[in-house]
Amino acid sequence: MKFIHGVLLLLITTYGIFESVQAQDQSGFISLACGLVPKETTYTEKTTNIKYTSDANYTDSGLVGRINDAYKTQFQQQTWTLRSFPKGERNCYNFNLTANSKYLIRGTFVYGNYDGLNQIPNFDLHIGPNKWTSVILDGVADASIFEMIHVLAQDRLQVCLVKTGETIPFISSLELRPLNNNTYVTQSGSLIMVSRNYFSTTPPFVRYNEDIHDRTWVPYLNNKAVTIRTDLLVDTSNDPYDVPQPVAKTASVPANASQPLTLDWTLDNITALSYIYMHFAEIQNLTDADIREFTITSNGGKIWYSNLRPPKLQMTTVFSQVAMSSPDGKLSFSFTRTGNSTLPPLINGLEIYKVLDLIQLDTGKDEVSAMLSIKITYELTKKVSWKGDPCAPQFYRWEGLNCSYPDSDPPRIISLNLSGSNLTGTITPEISNLTQLIELDLSNNDLSGEIPSFFADMKLLKLINLSGNPSLNSTIPDSLQQKINRKSVTLILSGTVTPKAGSKKVQVVAIAASVAGVIALLVILAIFFVVRRKTAKSANAPGPPPSVTTSIVKSETRSSNPSIMTKERKITYTEVLKMTNNFERVLGKGGFGTVYHGNLDDAEVAVKMLSHSSSQGYKEFKAEVELLLRVHHRHLVGLVGYCDDGDNLALIYEYMANGDLKENMSGKRGGHVLTWENRMQIAVEAAQGLEYLHNGCTPPMVHRDVKTTNILLNERSGAKLADFGLSRSFPIDGECHVSTVVAGTPGYLDPEYYRTNWLSEKSDVYSFGVVLLEIVTNQPVIDKTRERPHISEWVGFMLTKGDIKSIVDPKLMGDYDTNGAWKIVELAMGCLNPSSNQRPTMAHVVMELNECVALENARRKGSEEMYSRGSDDFSRLSSASEFAPGAR
């Protein structure tokens, strides 16, 4: 939740509720006033009696600053100072806590022109390796507060600020509050606060110590409801949510007692899932004849809770057991009295959260501990990139590390290069905790002491480079020497290696000769393949790309390809006939064959039958099955099963109800126009799927046929990348491309790949750039009636006029963020750079698209009267329909 204008931070001194605050138990609280110096300084904030300390012990980077004195009177003391991070892309706060504990985490940001530049920063906030939110401030004297509920996966927590543009990230205060583990339970992910409301105007907000967990409750009123209250104590002892007394003692009822009480709100992300918590207590003195009973319905009449009778002066909480969603992001609840009731419905408190899916797993905790110890041991705090999780996300991986990213498992460190890092002292045993390490380079340092014997116990370690350490004792432990003799590990030293007694003397020159021999062999092989490729090209020089829109690929006969070995998810042709009801319903047709609707185990599926005349041969069929059996990502279409039964080949996918992106852009799916927000979200999700193929798979994969017809949408317009028949793996050990027969679709095909036959992941980046231009313009990729037939040439020509409106789809009627449109067009043109080396990576594309989404969200928030504009706006809301607490 983001609160603007510093409403929650005002120094409230005129309300007696704070004057008699007595300090309660703050055990477990972490309350950091960022930038507070000296670092031993502590103070107690006057309005809440919360004790704040400096953040200096929780981060090893950043500069301290203070907001302009003119703004101090508007905000509480913990926001007067701040810490900014001008160096590095990612800077983090590190907390040692307890795994599986649940915490409320709150970050507060007050710019206050601390740097005298009057330039409001924008940046991202991460929880561990996952993005939490974009920090967008509306003004110099505005405050933004973001709050989430998070369960720790490990014994440590990292909160990171990530630079996304030219401005410098900063933070004013960071607070952690322990919560009961049996509250705010989700099926997956963490909870981002959207709104937490009660129904009174006095006091202006409720926080610690009325709320022992220091949750912030903001008042909400509208002209269709009135507030009732009691001075009696409400029993909250049996309710694990510990609702504070100021919330429990007030309630909202409809102004017209015969009418329902309604609450409506809109989420900024229409695809977001929500959890709702409602708190009820009867606070009126009822007679024997009085009955208060009501039913709660959601989104047009679906019963959410029936026949609720709030207990007298006792708190009870009703909440959603599973996450809720809405096709348009709008949620509505209606409280309607039953036929037995003599009194109108009421509600005392309301909490709304949206789910934050934690897609990126943290690096294995033992490896994180090892890397942090190595960082401390060798005083590597000045390494700018060594902040946050060592491996995740891959875009912010620590310098000198290579990691593996296995499906559904944490990333693991496979290579550590600390060459030339001014290391001194002995080789730390913490390295042995990097159990997946294959290569270790500690060369060109000033290490001393013995070569450790634990190297021999590291089962996967293949290469150790200790050259350039003149003070290091070159005696090799027996156990390691045995592995060297078995050629299971290579050790590189400077000068002569003197083994222990009983071992042969080994000259480094022998190792060098072996390495030189390997290099020579590789050179010979490289020359052979280059000559062979050139011979093949001269024999069959490519002509111009075909004008048809089907995929270009040479097929192979089935006889040259063995059957798919795995029996997992194999389905017979008889079962295919049954699930499709004898191919009753056609979903689509293409060069590969026909796609039919089917049902398998009460789930809808799409069945792609490979035509016998299809250019997509058995090789492509086999490649797609084997890829999808091992690759899983929420933005890649999942393989339910396959049929390899005689001449009958079929792929059974999860059903994507809204068809492909091209259909939706053209209006063939019901004629509705995809909004700019929809388009940005689809672009991000498709990019995430493609980025996973490039960086999350082992080995990495190139899709080779990225296009709008291969981006499918589910019933909630969530995007998934499809059709992996042309996908190819590419090497990860030094070589960045592979020679292969050209395949792809005209218009989307990378011209450099077509010209050279050298395939790399940047070929996908080119194709995705074309997709981005289609999303923005809704123009065909190739249109010979245009002055510039190819979409990239046309957009480039139109850009010379400097008018983005002439490029963006006119069906949007101007309803889009202009800055975001410029940004995505520039990103697309970067993807279409003729030189693959000059194109961005998909990880960078994902980051840029997330910024476009943030810009659109900010525009939408700015164009509406939003709840997040501060609690002082609530009294001006004219109706329940204007209640929109999901905006921030």
Residues 6+ apart with CB under 8 A from 43: 33, 51, 52, 77
Does 72 count as an annotated binding residue?
no
Q: Which of 142, 214, 239, 705 is catalytic?
A: 705
Residue 705: active-site member:
yes
- Nearest CA to 1 out of 115, 181, 99, 144 is that of 144
Joined together, the tokens standing for residue 649 give 């080949």
C-alpha closest to that of 280 among 238, 303, 251, 320: 251
Place of tokens 């590291």: 458
Residue pair 68/113 in contact by the 8 Å Cβ criterion:
yes
Say if residues 212 and 28 touch (Cβ distance below 8 Å).
Answer: no
**Consecutive H or E run containing 620:** helix 618-630
Q: Report CA dihedral (676, 677, 680, 682) to the nearest 10 degrees.
A: -110
Distance CA 488, CA 490 (A): 7
- The Cα 754–Cα 768 span in angstroms is 16
Rounded Cα gap, residues 874 and 885, in angstroms: 10
Query: What is the CA 304 to chain-centroid distance, rounded?
Result: 30
CA-CA distance, 449 to 474, in Å (whole number)?
A: 9
Evaluate whether 605 touches 652 at the Cβ level (below 8 Å). yes
Nearby residues of 313 by Cβ (< 8 Å), 6 or more positions away: 230, 232, 233, 234, 235, 281, 282, 283
Q: Which amino acid is at 803?
A: D
User: How distant, in Å, are the alpha carbons of 119, 347, 627, 704, 705 from that of 724?
Assistant: 46, 52, 8, 8, 8
| Of 356, 360, 357, 374, the residue nearest 410 (C-alpha) | 360
Neighbours of 785 (CB within 10 A): 6
Nearest to 309 by CA among 284, 260, 345, 262: 345
Q: How far apart are CA 56 and CA 592, in angstroms?
A: 61
Give me the torsion for CA of 497, 501, 504, 509, rounded to 10°. 10
Q: What share of the chain is helix, strand, coil (3-state, %, to 5)?
A: 25, 25, 50
Q: Read off the tokens for 361.
A: 């797993």
Query: What's phi and psi for 300, nearest 5 deg?
Result: 90, 20
Question: By CB neighbour count within 10 A (0-12 exposed, 13-18 middle, 19+ buried), where does 786 fall?
Answer: middle
Alpha carbon distances (Å) from 197 to 203, 211, 337: 13, 13, 22
Helix axis angle for 676-695 and 761-777, nearest 10°, is 180
How many angstroms separate the first and last alpha carbons of the chain?
Answer: 5
Torsion (CA) 396, 401, 405, 408 in degrees, nearest 10: -80
Assign 88 to helix, strand or coil. coil
Question: What CA–CA distance (Å, rounded) separates 107 from 172?
Answer: 8
- Secondary structure (3-state) at 835: coil
Surface-to-core class of residue 836, CB atoms within 10 Å of its CB (0-12 exposed, 13-18 middle, 19+ buried)? buried
Distance between CA 531 and CA 527 in Å, rounded?
Answer: 6
Bridge partners of residue 464, in order along the sequence: 440, 491
Please tell me the distance from the alpha carbon of residue 237 to that of residue 256, in angstroms, as a whole number. Answer: 33
Provide the CA 297 distance to its chain's centre, in angstroms: 32
Structure tokens given for 614: 């299809």
Binding site feature residues: 608
Active-site positions? 705
Binding site for ATP: residue ranges?
608
